[in-house]
């Protein structure tokens, strides 16, 4: 399935609610429909405050409204965490710095070994 199809489910939620882009924009404080249109087509990512507004309006988590953006960010974070882990594991720090490194590595281990509280929204939609 194309990523563009998974880019945003904002439009389908808006249409299901019977709202126009202008009406939705007005609820969020926009003067016109332009930003909502760009968010629906993922031409621009909504600011956090607006994304939370979409969540509040539709009672749907932001990650479900924008599954492709969520998955892209999740993959980027996971790759960065892997790189950070490698760097931390190779450190030869002592004292307080070693304690900080140990705390980070413990957190990473716990994060990897706990039940995940995120979903792969892009795969679920496919």
Residues 58 and 86 in one domain: no
Tokens of 90: 């190779």
> Is the model's pLDDT at 7 over the cut of 80?
no
Contact between residue 19 and residue 51 where contact means Cβ atoms under 8 Å apart? no
What 3-state DSSP class applies to 55? helix
Task: Determine the structural domain holding residue 53 and report its residue range.
Answer: 3-65
| 29 and 61, same domain (yes or no) | yes
pTM, two decimals, is 0.77
pLDDT over threshold 50, residue 2: no
| CATH number of the domain that residue 46 is part of | 1.10.260.40
Rounded mean pLDDT, 49-71: 96
Res 5 pLDDT > 60:
no
Residue 85 falls within a domain, yes or no? yes
Q: Is residue 56 part of a domain?
A: yes
**Residue 36 placed within a domain:** yes
The CA-based angle 73-76-81, given to 5 degrees, is 125
- The span from the CA of 31 to the CA of 17, in Å, is 20
Which segment of 32-36, 68-72, 76-80 scores lowest on mean pLDDT?
Answer: 68-72
Average pLDDT over residues 72-82: 96
Are 94 and 58 members of one domain?
no
Count the neighbouring beta carbons within 10 Å of the beta carbon of residue 84: 13
State whether 48 and 102 are in the same domain: no
Domain count, the chain: 2
- Note whether residue 122 is domain-resident: no
Query: How far apart, in whole angstroms, are the C-alpha atoms of residue 27 and residue 97?
Result: 48
Under 8 Å between Cβ of 29 and 39: no
């Amino acid at each position: 399935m194309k990523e563009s199809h998974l880019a945003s489910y904002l439009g389908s939620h808006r249409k299901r609610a019977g709202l126009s882009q202008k009406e939705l924009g007005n609820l969020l404080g926009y003067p016109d429909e332009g930003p909502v249109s760009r968010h629906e087509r993922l031409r621009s990512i909504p600011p956090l405050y607006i994304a939370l507004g979409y969540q509040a309006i539709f009672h749907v988590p932001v990650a479900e409204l924008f599954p492709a953006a969520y998955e892209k960010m999740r993959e980027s974070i996971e790759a960065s965490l892997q790189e950070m882990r490698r760097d931390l594991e190779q450190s030869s720090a002592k004292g307080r710095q070693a304690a900080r490194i140990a705390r980070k590595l413990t957190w990473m281990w716990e994060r990897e070994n706990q039940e995940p509280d995120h979903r792969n929204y892009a795969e679920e939609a496919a």
